Structure 1
């Protein structure tokens, strides 16, 4: 199954809204850090339901912005969730962005970058479309240090990129981006039961759940276009 087919099926079953709810726990903290000014143009790479663009419009009065996704069904759903004329959605390939060079102020991507088949090529494309001083906020839950997420690959039919923190930094730099920040954002909203209630249906131990949500949470890497 291709990436498009996988996420078309997710969108058709309503999983896009479920992802939005889960991602929001840490996404809202990362979005709040973005140096967005009124009128800035945003690209949301792997937009899903388009929640990030809707949030940035509400909190920062952003300008004409684009949510891009490889899944036509995700794009179809995202369009239905807003009637804001300054938010548009496109179906497209991360590796060949249908966007003019030096035209985007900030790029956001949550739980999408690790589906890139050629990640350096994607980073080079983002460097191309970003204006000087523009930023790329890349948030992922699936990464090498977060060992409790490694089993996700067994649940999905498409290949996922599993880099560690240093590999993200090096790749950003290789693509011409300056790494301004790298941090892990804990998920404080998932309730973790007391130790005596484990094992649960999903977790063998409380320690494993703490490691996933509190110790590692979401890895945020921020690149700046020189």
Structure 2
């Protein structure tokens, strides 16, 4: 199954809004760090329901926000969730972005980058469209050190890349980004039951669930265009 087919199905089932609710636990902290200023143009790569672009418009006064998603139904749903004329949503290919060179001030991506067919080509394309001094905030819950997410390989019917933290930094630098930072943002809001309620459907032990959410959380890698 392709990424488009997989997430069109999610969008038709209404699971795009559920994704937003779960991602917001850590996304809100990362979005608050972005150096977006009034008048900036922001890009949300793998925009889903469009929550990140809307947040940057509302809290940072970005002039324009564009969401690009590989699933047509995701983009259609996102358009219906807002009447803000300065927020646009496109169905498109991450490796071939419909933007001019140096036309984007900042880019955000949450739980989407690892679905790219050619992640290095995506980084090259972002390096092209982001202006000098602009940033790419790449947030993922699925990466090598986050061992409790490795089972997603069996749950999602599309290929995913699983880089380590060091590999994210290496590939960002190879594409010409300066790595301004990388850290884990803990999810402090997901409820973790008492030890006596384990095993659950998803975790054998409470310790494993604590590690997944409180210690691993979301990996954020920040690249800056020189």
What TM-score do you get using the length of structure 1 for normalisation? Answer: 0.99
Partner Cα separation in structure 2 for residue 64 and residue 35 of structure 1: 15
**Counterpart for residue 212 of structure 2:** 212
Give 1:15 deviation, angstroms.
0.6
Runs of 4+ in 1 over 6 A off after TM superposition: none
Q: What pairs with 1:1-226 in structure 2 (closer than 5 Å)?
A: 1-226=1-226
Q: 3-state DSSP class of the match of 1:212?
A: helix
What is the CA deviation profile of residues 3-51 of structure 1, one whole-angstrom value per residue up to 9, with x for unaligned ones?
Answer: 1000100000001000000000000000000011011100000000000
| C-alpha RMSD of the superposition | 0.6
Structure 2: any 5+ residue segments left out of the alignment? none
How many residue pairs match? The answer is 226
**Inter-partner Cα distance in structure 2 for 1:100 and 1:65:** 15
Deviation, 1:193, is 1.3
TM-score (norm 2): 0.99
Q: How far does the alpha carbon of each residue in 1:100-129 deviate from its partner, in whole angstroms, 9 at most, with x for none?
A: 110000000000000011111100000000
Per the TM alignment, residue 99 of structure 1 is displaced from its structure 2 partner at its CA by 0.8
Cα deviation, 1:177-222, whole Å, max 9, x if unaligned, reads 0000100000000111121221122211001101100110000000
